[in-house]
């Protein structure tokens, strides 16, 4: 009975929150950070014993997953304060008369109209929209081919710094810029964004909630 009680108590105990992060060194896909006094060398996707995971790193900044949320730090930054997980932001989208789920959101701080498409691998937009958003997709993007209703089309893979829908904001979201008219004026909100959320389709409402 005592062993069972101990296991139950451990399972019920809340995880300790990280209280201090210091960025000591930054490299391509690797970072050296001090977490609550412990120096850790993290590679891309690796998680420390404190539960801090490296999402992105370059010579100037690092994106870490800490206590249920993404947080960005600069080289030399030393942040002291409990990084407690925020309450979940739930977004609800009503089904339109055309049977589709559409909502206004933003990409890199600029307003766009999203069309939810769980069948799309990633966020997708046409070239005109990409230019309006200031994306240098032909230089910074990676050429690729995508399947459309009309067949195969030329496209460029890019990474969006910020994608926001209601109170939900995700960073470093993969997207495709499709040559020509592409998917139309709407931006397809595909699984590179939706796959990082919990989705519940009630028939008339689509509920989206971050995976904390």
Query: What integer pLDDT is reported at residue 60 of this predicted model?
Result: 84
What is the reported pLDDT for 39? 93
Quick: pLDDT tens for 148-190: 666 778 889 999 999 999 889 899 999 999 987 767 789 999 9
Torsion angle, alpha carbons of 44, 27, 143, 70, to 10: 50
Distance CA(157)–CA(176), nearest Å, equals: 5
pLDDT recorded at residue 83: 63
The CB density around residue 48, as the number of other CB atoms within 10 Å, is 18
The CATH number given to 91-210 is 2.40.70.10
At 79 the pLDDT is: 83
- C-alpha 124/C-alpha 120 separation (Å) is 8
Backbone φ and ψ for 67, nearest 5 degrees, come out as: 50, 45
Per the prediction, the chain carries an average pLDDT of: 83
10 Å CB burial of residue 149 (0-12, 13-18, 19+) is exposed
Q: How far apart are CA 64 and CA 45, in angstroms?
A: 10
CB 123 within 8 A of CB 183: no
Going from N- to C-terminal start, the domains of the chain cover: 2-80, 91-210
Number of C-beta neighbours around residue 43 at 10 A: 11
Kindly report, residue by residue over 63-97, the tens digit of the pLDDT: 888 876 778 888 888 887 656 555 557 899 998 88
**CATH number attached to the domain at 2-80:** 2.30.30
Could you tell me which of 94, 20, 16, 25 has the C-alpha nearest to residue 61?
Answer: 25
Mean predicted confidence (pLDDT) in 203-212: 86
Distance CA 88, CA 169 (A): 11
């Amino acid at each position: 009975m005592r062993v069972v009680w101990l296991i139950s108590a451990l399972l019920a105990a809340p995880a300790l929150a990280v209280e201090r992060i210091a960025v000591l060194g930054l490299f391509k896909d690797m970072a050296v950070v001090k977490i609550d006094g412990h120096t850790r060398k993290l590679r891309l996707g690796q998680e420390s014993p404190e539960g801090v995971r490296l999402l992105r790193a370059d010579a100037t900044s690092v994106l870490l997953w800490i206590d249920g949320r993404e947080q960005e730090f600069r080289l030399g930054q030393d942040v002291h304060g409990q990084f407690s997980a925020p309450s979940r932001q739930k977004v609800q989208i009503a089904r339109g008369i055309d049977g589709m789920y559409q909502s206004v959101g933003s990409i890199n701080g600029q307003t766009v109209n999203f069309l939810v498409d769980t069948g799309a691998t990633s966020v997708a937009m046409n070239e005109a929209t990409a230019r309006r958003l200031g994306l240098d997709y032909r230089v910074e993007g990676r050429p690729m081919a995508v399947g459309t209703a009309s067949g195969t089309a030329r496209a460029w893979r890019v990474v969006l710094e910020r994608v926001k829908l209601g109170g939900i904001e995700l960073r470093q979201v993969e997207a495709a810029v499709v040559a020509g008219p592409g998917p139309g004026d709407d931006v397809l909100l595909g699984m590179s964004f939706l796959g990082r959320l919990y989705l519940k389709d009630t028939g008339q409402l689509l509920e989206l909630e971050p995976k904390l």
